[in-house]
Amino acid sequence: MAELTELLEDVVSDVDAVVLFSPSGSYYERFARVDNLDVVVIAPENSVGADNYVELPLEFENVAQRIQFGIEGAIDEELVNEGDVLACVTGVFGEGVDTVSRVRSDAFTHTGVYELFAESRAPAEVIRDVFELAIELGRKGQKGKPVGALFVVGDAGKVMNKSRPLSYNPFEKSHVHVGDPIVNVMLKEFSRLDGAFVISDKGKIVSAYRYLEPSAEGVDIPKGLGARHMAAGAITRDTNAIAVVLSESDGLVRAFKGGEMVLELDPEEY
């Protein structure tokens, strides 16, 4: 057993920092007491009172995506440096910690996924609510059938100016917000019809059935993606909005910011 312990020491030897994902208070304290060890906590909330903390707005079931988000956030917040060697401690098979990965902070191509939540006009909780709606819709569909949907979040005034109505706007005189369970049921029902949902910075549903009109010239999206994704890329290039797209064909949820795709999720993994 001593030999095995020595072999596993290579995973954590000479790391520049330890990155803990959603640790318990007692587990965090064990690391915090170690001298000359930088500890970064990545979690939905800073319940352990960590000095170095990055908010985790989504429960990334894909561990690589979870670690990538945490590292991008830690770099953006200047908690770690490019090229640092990190010991990432997280859970894969259930509650609690069961996995340690040795990762260089520059091992991932920078995607901008952290900026999607931390540096968008809309608060992270509004973007999270839209993602959760899209993920649920992707898992269950509409009455058992797969559907596609496009949600444009933030900079609603400019988005409205760069789009036109396809039909009557059912939210024109309402003051309802994404994340409300009753409102989410309405959004799922309206997702059967064409057009984008426009959502304000604060999460208010501004409109449904909007045809986005910015030119798609110069927008570069992965091959095989269709009109919704092209529209999402174009509108986020020309405004300060972000866009979340549920694909009817492959069922994946993708996010766009600044004209580029920055995140791809499989609803079945959530």
Tens-place pLDDT, residues 205-252: 999 999 999 888 888 888 888 899 999 999 999 999 999 999 988 889
Query: Is this structure's pTM higher than 0.75?
Result: yes
Residues 60 and 182 in one domain: no
Per-residue pLDDT band for 192 (boundaries 50, 70, 90) equals: confident
Residues 71 and 131 in one domain: no
- How far apart, in whole angstroms, are the C-alpha atoms of residue 29 and residue 32? 5
Could you say which of 71, 93, 110 is where a domain stops? Answer: 110
Could you say which of 49, 82, 110 is where a domain stops? Answer: 110
Residues 181 and 55 in one domain: no
Domain CATH number, residue 156: 3.40.1700.10
Q: pLDDT at position 116, please? A: 86
Residues 89 and 142 in one domain: no
| Residue of 40, 9, 6 whose CA lies nearest to 23 | 40
In the chain, the number of structural domains is 2
Q: pLDDT at position 200, please? A: 97
Q: pLDDT at position 267, please? A: 87
Per-residue pLDDT band for 96 (boundaries 50, 70, 90) equals: confident
Please, which residues have CB within 8 angstroms of residue 40's CB and are 6 or more apart in sequence?
17, 18, 19, 20, 50, 52, 53, 54, 70, 74, 79, 80
63 or 206, greater pLDDT: 206
Residue tagged 């909330």 (tokens): 45
Q: pLDDT at position 210, please? A: 96
Residues 96 and 187 in one domain: no
Residues 128 and 227 in one domain: yes
Could you say which of 80, 110, 140 is where a domain stops? Answer: 110
Residues 87 and 124 in one domain: no
Q: pLDDT at position 1, please? A: 52
| Residue of 179, 177, 183, 207 whose CA lies nearest to 195 | 207
Residues 63 and 149 in one domain: no
Task: List strands edge to edge, sheet with 253-257.
Answer: 163-165, 205-212, 196-199, 149-153, 242-246, 253-257, 260-265
Q: What percent of the chain is modeled with pLDDT above 70? A: 99
Per-residue pLDDT band for 107 (boundaries 50, 70, 90) equals: confident
pLDDT above 70 (res 2):
no
Domain that holds residue 242: 115-269
**Mean per-residue pLDDT of the chain:** 90
Tens-place pLDDT, residues 130-161: 999 999 999 887 777 888 999 999 999 999 99
Domain CATH number, residue 91: 3.40.1380.20
